[in-house]
Amino acid sequence: MTLGKRKLRIGVFAGGVSSEREVSLKSAAQVIKNLSPDKYDIRLIEVSETGRWLLHGTPTTLIEQTSEAPKTSPIPFEGQQDLDLAFIAMHGTFAEDGRLQSLFEILNITYSGSGVLASAIGMNKSKTCELVGRRGIVSPQMFELYKAPTDLDALDIQIQESIHYPCVIKPNASGSSVGVSLVDNKQMLADALSLAFAEGGSVLVEQYVHGREVTCGVFGNSHQTELTAMPVVEVITKSRFFDYNAKYESAETQEICPANLSPEVTAQIQRAAQTAHETLGCDGLTRSDFILSDDGTLYFLEINTIPGMTEASLCPKEAAAMGMSFSQLLDIQIDLALKRHN
């Protein structure tokens, strides 16, 4: 893509301060590898683990800026005014929760993906499930903890009387299954809570639903363009759930795309993913995750407003099943970002 006679200047943002930093760096590497140099002038901007902004003049040349910045309020790199678009390849806290998007809004930088409000809500799993539930899409039963309980006996009773064991304990605002545990009994609660609260100040205790893990990407700008649902993927893993290891490290995980489902069930999942995207007012590319239970009920789990772009990620696989290359998937996201901001 060009502006006039020059290439579009794209800044690919990577790294960050969250536990998903390594996934982000892998996403950014694949994005840079697949952005067409004939269309784009590509720059890599890395946010370090300490919140420092680093401008890579080329993917192999690092130019460190002189300003040190705190984790919660990074100072933009010099020369940010030269960018036509920021492609966000960051995940988790600060990157996917609306705060980075807020900074780009203040600086008047066009950026990929959803806006501030949709990003903030999408990062909050309980709020997302509440809003999507109003559109008739079922989620597992859950309750939220805002601090680590001192009385595990009381929590144990609450679990047994409401959602029962096994249950899922997970951070309310995190991704890549970081901090998620499948808990079978009271003896496992302390470690699971410690792991989840390490990711943030709010934790969900959620009903465990046994079934098939499926996911579906959607691209389009809510209330501006047509929303396109991508082919459904079924994830088959030997782990008890699709944890971090199964997502990024296990050679035994299978990702079947298109999933071996009936046309009716496939359409149901695609409609639910489109509904979640639209309900939150998302833009660009999202991916919604579901469990198709043993009795055929579809349970919505969460939405990812910045889906992974690594070699192992699901949305590129869905694009390939549509006959779309990785480069074309990136072009679509850039085009939607320009449409939204213009």
Which residues does residue 58 pair with via DSSP β-bridges, in sequence order? 61
pLDDT in tens, 314-323: 999 999 999 9
CA proximity to 307, closest of 186, 246, 216: 216
Give the per-residue pLDDT at 55: 78
Please state the pTM of the whole predicted model.
Answer: 0.88
Give the per-residue pLDDT at 2: 54
The distance of Cα 29 from the centroid of its chain, to the nearest Å, equals 17
Based on the residue annotation, tell me whether 264 is a catalytic residue of this protein. Answer: no
Three-class SS state of 333: helix
Give the per-residue pLDDT at 50: 82
173 with 119: CB under 8 angstroms? no
Do domains 2-111 and 142-207 share one topology? The answer is no
206 with 142: CB under 8 angstroms? yes
Based on the residue annotation, tell me whether 308 is a catalytic residue of this protein. Answer: yes
Out of 46, 84, 243, 289, pick the active-site residue: 289
121-128: average pLDDT: 96
Per CATH, the number for 142-207 is 3.30.1490.20
Out of 18, 24, 119, 176, pick the active-site residue: 176
Give the per-residue pLDDT at 249: 53
User: What does the alpha-carbon distance between residue 206 and residue 239 come to, in Å, rounded to a whole number?
Assistant: 18
Out of 308, 313, 318, 340, pick the active-site residue: 308
Based on the residue annotation, tell me whether 213 is a catalytic residue of this protein. Answer: no
User: What does the alpha-carbon distance between residue 291 and residue 281 come to, in Å, rounded to a whole number?
Assistant: 23
Residue 167 φ/ψ, nearest 5 degrees: -135, 165
Judged by average pLDDT, the poorest of 42-51, 65-74, 199-208, 272-281 is 65-74
Based on the residue annotation, tell me whether 176 is a catalytic residue of this protein. Answer: yes
Based on the residue annotation, tell me whether 248 is a catalytic residue of this protein. Answer: yes
290-302: average pLDDT: 97
269-284: average pLDDT: 98
Q: Is the pLDDT of residue 243 over 60?
A: no
Give the per-residue pLDDT at 67: 35
Give the per-residue pLDDT at 52: 81
Give the per-residue pLDDT at 305: 97
Q: Is the pLDDT of residue 246 over 60?
A: no
Q: Is the pLDDT of residue 333 over 50?
A: yes
Based on the residue annotation, tell me whether 208 is a catalytic residue of this protein. Answer: no
Out of 244, 287, 331, 340, pick the active-site residue: 287
Give the per-residue pLDDT at 51: 79
> DSSP secondary-structure letter at 253?
-
Give the per-residue pLDDT at 65: 36
pLDDT in tens, 55-112: 775 444 333 333 333 333 344 555 555 889 999 999 988 889 999 999 999 999 999 9
Please indicate whether residue 18 or residue 225 has the higher confidence score (pLDDT): 225
30-52: average pLDDT: 91
Give the confidence band of 245 by pLDDT, cuts at 50, 70, 90: low
266-291: average pLDDT: 98
Judged by average pLDDT, the poorest of 59-63, 103-107, 138-142, 330-334 is 59-63
CA proximity to 314, closest of 243, 240, 260, 233: 233
Give the per-residue pLDDT at 173: 82
pLDDT in tens, 197-220: 988 789 999 999 999 999 999 999
Q: Is the pLDDT of residue 226 over 50?
A: yes
Out of 234, 302, 318, 331, pick the active-site residue: 302
Domain ranges of the chain: 2-111, 121-138+210-341, 142-207
Per CATH, the number for 121-138+210-341 is 3.30.470.20
Buried b (16+ CB within 10 A) or exposed e, 181-202: bbbeeeebbeebbebbbebbeb
8-34: average pLDDT: 91
Give the per-residue pLDDT at 71: 34
pLDDT in tens, 258-270: 999 999 999 999 9
Residues in the chain: 342
Give the per-residue pLDDT at 259: 97
Give the per-residue pLDDT at 325: 96
Give the per-residue pLDDT at 251: 63
- Domain 2-111 belongs to what topology? Rossmann fold (3.40.50)
The distance of Cα 86 from the centroid of its chain, to the nearest Å, equals 17
